[in-house]
C-alpha cells in the first residue's frame, strides 16, 4: 500500500552514526514512506566528552550526518543538539562535580548558538539519567537542566527531555521547573514516553511516544499535541534498537490498511504537533520513494 502523497511521515526522535548504517538507514526510512527525521546527537566515541572541543566535534558530526542524508535522499532532517545528561555522571567522576557542571553548561551554550544560527532546531536530549544515580549529583543534574531551560528560553527553541518514564507527578515537577526558568512548557517535549495519560496529566508538556503498535493505536485515540518516535540508535551491536527506523511509516501503513479514515488522525503527530511545538508544518518532498 502506498502512503498518501500529501501526508508527511515524521520520526520525531532518532540517532544516526558514522560507524553505523548512517545514510543507508535514512534511505530505508524513505523507501517505507518516511519523509522527515528529527536527528538527535549522541556520543560517537567510546566515552563521554571530557572537554568542550569534543562536544563541538560531536555536534558537527551530527550536522554532517544530517547534511549527507539530505544530499543523498529525499528525507528532510532537523537536528537536535545538547550534551547527554548521563555524560555528567562520568564527567563528575573524572573531572569533579564543579568542572563537570561547567562543561555541561558550556556545551549547552554551544548548542544554543548553533540553534540561533539555524544549524539545529532544538536542544536535546537534556534532563535526568534514566536510572538510579548518586544522590550527591542530583543538584548538579537539576542545575544543568535549569541552564538548558534558560538557553532554550533565550534562543527561543524547544527543549527535548531525556529521563525515566514519568507519572503525572513527574510531569508536574518538570512543568514547574520550566516555569521557574520562564521557559514555555508547551515547547517542552518528553521523548521516549511509553504510557498514554489523560491530557491534563502532562501539565503542558508534549509526549513523544515510542512507536510500538499498541502505544501508537492508543495515542491515535487522543488529541494532540504528541509525536511518534523510534529512538533508533544505529548501533551495529544492537541492530534495530530501540525500534528500527522504518517503524513509523510501517505503523502508518498498518493503521490505514485497517481504516483509511485514520489518515486524519496521523496529521496530529506529523503536522499539527510539529507546528504547535516547532512553528512550522512539514511538507512531503515532491517525489517520494515507496
What residue ranges define each of the domains in the chain, with the CATH number in brackets? 10-278 (3.20.20.140)
- Provide the total of helices (H) and of strands (E) in the chain, helices listed first: 10, 8
27-52 pLDDT, tens digit each = 999 999 999 999 999 999 888 999 99
**Residue 286 pLDDT more than 90?**
no
pTM: 0.96
pLDDT of residue 290 exceeding 70, the answer is no
Element (H, E) at 191: strand 188-193
List Cβ<8 Å contacts ≥24 apart for 253-260: 253/1, 253/3, 253/32, 253/33, 254/213, 255/216, 255/217, 255/220, 256/1, 256/3, 257/1
Burial of residue 203 (CB within 10 Å: 0-12, 13-18, 19+) is buried
* Mean pLDDT for all residues in the chain: 96
State whether residue 233 is helix, strand or coil.
coil
Q: What is the DSSP letter of 208?
A: E
What are the pLDDT digits (tens) for 150-176?
A: 999 999 999 999 999 999 999 999 999
User: Quick one: cell of 5?
Assistant: 502523497
Residue 206 to residue 155: CA distance in whole angstroms: 19
pLDDT (tens digit, 9 = 90+) per residue, 167-225?
999 999 999 999 999 999 999 999 999 999 999 999 999 999 999 999 999 999 999 99
Amino acid at each position: 500500500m502506498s502512503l498518501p502523497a500529501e501526508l508527511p511521515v515524521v520520526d520525531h526522535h532518532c540517532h544516526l552514526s558514522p560507524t553505523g548504517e548512517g545514510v543507508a538507514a535514512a534511505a530505508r526510512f524513505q523507501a517505507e514512506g518516511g519523509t522527515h527525521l528529527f536527528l538527535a546527537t549522541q556520543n560517537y566515541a567510546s566515552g563521554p566528552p571530557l572537554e568542550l572541543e569534543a562536544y563541538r566535534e560531536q555536534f558537527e558530526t551530527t550536522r554532517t550526518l544530517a547534511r549527507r542524508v539530505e544530499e543523498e535522499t529525499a528525507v528532510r532532517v532537523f537536528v537536535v543538539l545538547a550534551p547527554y545528561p548521563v555524560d555528567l555522571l562520568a564527567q563528575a567522576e573524572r573531572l569533579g562535580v564543579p568542572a563537570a557542571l561547567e562543561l555541561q553548561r558550556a556545551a549547552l551554550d554551544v548548542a544554543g548558538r548553533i540553534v540561533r544560527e539555524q544549524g539545529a532546531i532544538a536542544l536535546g536530549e537534556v534532563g535526568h539519567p534514566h536510572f538510579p544515580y548518586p544522590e550527591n549529583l542530583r543538584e548538579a543534574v537539576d542545575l544543568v537542566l535549569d541552564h538548558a531551560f534558560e538557553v532554550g528560553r533565550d534562543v527561543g527553541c524547544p527543549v527535548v527531555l531525556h529521563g525515566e518514564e514519568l507519572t503525572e507527578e513527574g510531569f508536574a515537577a518538570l512543568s514547574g521547573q520550566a516555569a521557574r526558568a520562564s521557559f514555555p512548557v508547551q515547547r517542552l517535549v518528553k521523548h521516549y514516553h511509553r504510557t498514554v495519560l489523560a491530557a491534563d496529566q502532562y501539565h503542558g508538556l508534549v509526549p513523544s511516544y515510542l512507536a510500538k503498535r499498541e502505544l501508537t493505536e492508543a495515542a491515535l485515540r487522543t488529541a494532540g499535541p504528541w509525536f511518534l518516535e523510534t529512538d533508533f540508535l544505529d548501533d551495529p551491536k544492537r541492530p534495530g534498537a530501540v525500534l528500527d527506523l522504518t517503524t513509523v511509516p510501517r505503523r502508518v501503513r498498518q493503521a490505514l490498511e485497517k481504516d483509511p479514515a485514520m489518515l486524519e488522525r496521523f496529521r496530529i503527530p506529523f503536522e499539527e504537533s510539529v507546528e504547535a511545538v516547532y512553528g512550522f508544518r512539514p511538507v512531503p518532498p515532491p517525489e517520494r520513494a515507496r
